[in-house]
């Protein structure tokens, strides 16, 4: 028999961040991969999106403007890879 209070406690402290790696893909594939992988995720979900496509930042900003998702921060990694933290609308 499952102890329900423990299950609730685990769910309340869940801080899972979904990571989507689009490094090496070129436009429009990074954004298409992102859209496909987040389509069934609930509002408020945190996603880290990695991409190195030069047009990726502009494309991601446009996607967020259209959908209401919010870019929390952007960090530059090695070899021109950008790591974006996105909060889904």
Domains, the chain, in order of start with CATH, read 16-87 (3.30.110.40)
> What span, in angstroms and rounded, lies between the C-alpha atoms of 3 and 67?
38
The pLDDT of 74-80, averaged and rounded, is: 93
Does the structure show a pLDDT above 60 at 12?
no
User: How do strand 17-21 and strand 46-51 relate by DSSP bridges?
Assistant: parallel
Does the structure show a pLDDT above 70 at 70?
yes
Does the structure show a pLDDT above 70 at 11?
no
Per residue in 38-69, pLDDT (tens digit) is: 999 999 999 999 999 988 899 999 999 999 99
- CB distance 76 to 31 below 8 Å: no
- Catalytic-labelled residue, pool 23, 27, 63, 88: 27
> What span, in angstroms and rounded, lies between the C-alpha atoms of 81 and 44?
24
Which pLDDT band, with edges at 50, 70 and 90, does 7 fall under?
Answer: very low
How many Cα neighbours within 13 Å face the side chain of 41? 19
pLDDT number for residue 14: 54
Mark whether 87 is an active-site residue: no
What is the DSSP code (8-state) at residue 42?
P
Q: Crossing angle for the helix pair 29-38 and 56-67, nearest 10 degrees?
A: 40
């Amino acid at each position: 028999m499952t102890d329900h209070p423990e299950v609730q406690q685990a769910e309340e402290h869940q801080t899972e961040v979904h990571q989507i790696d689009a490094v090496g893909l070129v436009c429009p594939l990074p954004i298409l991969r992102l859209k496909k992988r987040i389509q069934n995720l609930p509002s408020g979900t945190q996603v880290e999106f990695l991409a190195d496509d030069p047009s990726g930042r502009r494309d991601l900003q446009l996607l967020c403007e259209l959908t209401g998702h919010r870019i929390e921060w952007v960090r530059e990694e090695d070899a021109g890879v950008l790591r974006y933290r996105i909060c889904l609308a």
